[in-house]
């Protein structure tokens, strides 16, 4: 009597494929074990380096942030020399941290407060070189530079920087003030075309603002002055 043929089911076929695949994988691992260990070791080494780098960066950010808080407090309490020292430390030693550009910006404000306008301008330019991705701080540094030139009575330069402050953040909180200040500075520089353009832009973009009312008055005065000539 012939042996009865066993029916091969789909389940058995799947199991057979799994056994074969597992067997082949085991053979490959045994054959390439040294290479696998080398690659795994390299991956672990890279992971360790990244972990150390991130830990050091976090520590530097924390230290810089603490020093910035102290410098800000010293600035507010009038201890300017101490604040300047701390901010310079942050700018030079922790320049690559998030607090670095903020320290430079605050340093520029201290120089402006002390009427050291040339030094303030140079410091605000240092901030600009950082190319910080913060529209408000960028606009503020340009606005601060413009204020320095205004105090130095270099009106054309002041107007240009006020206008640049507007352009850097045209929907920001300083936008309308930047334009009205640009118009004022250009007027003082006797550059009435640029003054007129700045005032018109204020009235166009911020029609409900106090700056728009002032701009309209200044425009009327400029037109009256032209009519008198």
Q: Residue 102: exposed, middle, or buried by beta-carbon count in 10 A (0-12, 13-18, 19+)?
A: buried
Q: What value does the CA radius of gyration of the chain take, rounded to a whole number of Å?
A: 33
pLDDT score, position 67: 86
Instruction: Please report how many Cα atoms fall inside a 13 Å half-sphere around the Cα of residue 102, on the Cβ side.
Output: 14
| H/E segment holding residue 149 | helix 135-151
pLDDT score, position 96: 80
Lowest mean pLDDT among 69-73, 155-159, 223-227: 223-227
* Rounded-to-integer distance, Cα 76 and Cα 33, Å: 64
* Rounded-to-integer distance, Cα 68 and Cα 88, Å: 10
* Rounded-to-integer distance, Cα 186 and Cα 195, Å: 5
pLDDT score, position 196: 94
Q: At what angle do helices 175-188 and 155-168 cross, to 10 degrees?
A: 160
pLDDT score, position 17: 56
Which of the two residues, 183 and 56, has the higher pLDDT score? 183
Count CB neighbours of 72 within 10 A.
16
| % residues pLDDT > 70 (the chain) | 72
- How large is the average pLDDT for residues 133-145? 92
Q: Residue 52's pLDDT band (boundaries 50, 70, 90)? A: very low
Count CB neighbours of 12 within 10 A.
11
- How large is the average pLDDT for residues 105-114? 92
pLDDT score, position 44: 47
Which of the two residues, 5 and 68, has the higher pLDDT score? 68
Which of the two residues, 93 and 22, has the higher pLDDT score? 93
- How large is the average pLDDT for residues 142-165? 96
pLDDT score, position 177: 95
pLDDT score, position 61: 77
- How large is the average pLDDT for residues 205-219? 92
Residue ranges of domains in the chain, CATH in brackets = 47-132 (1.25.40.10), 153-229 (1.25.40.10)
155-192 burial by CB neighbour count: b if 16+ within 10 A, else e? bebbbbbbbbbbebbeebebbbbbbbbbbbbbbbbebe
């Amino acid at each position: 009597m012939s042996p009865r043929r066993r029916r091969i089911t789909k389940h058995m076929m799947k199991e057979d494929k799994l056994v074969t695949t597992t067997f082949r994988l085991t053979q490959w691992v045994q054959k390439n074990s040294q290479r696998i260990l080398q690659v795994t070791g390299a991956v672990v080494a890279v992971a360790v380096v990244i972990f150390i780098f991130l830990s050091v960066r976090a520590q530097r950010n924390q230290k810089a942030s603490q020093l910035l808080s102290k410098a800000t407090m010293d600035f507010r309490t009038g201890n300017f020399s101490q604040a300047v020292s701390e901010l310079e430390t942050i700018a030079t030693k922790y320049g690559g941290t998030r607090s670095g550009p903020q320290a430079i910006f605050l340093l520029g404000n201290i120089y402006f407060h002390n009427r050291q306008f040339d030094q303030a301008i140079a410091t605000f330019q240092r901030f600009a070189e950082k190319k910080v991705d913060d529209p408000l701080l960028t606009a503020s540094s340009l606005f601060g530079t413009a204020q320095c030139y205004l105090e130095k009575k270099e009106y054309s330069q002041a107007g240009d920087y006020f206008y640049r402050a507007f352009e850097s953040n045209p929907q920001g909180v300083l936008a309308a003030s930047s334009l009205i200040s640009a118009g004022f500075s250009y007027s003082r520089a006797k550059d009435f075309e640029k003054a007129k353009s700045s005032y018109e832009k204020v009235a166009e973009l911020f029609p409900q603002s106090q700056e728009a009312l002032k701009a309209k008055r200044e425009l009327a005065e400029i037109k009256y002055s032209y009519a008198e000539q």
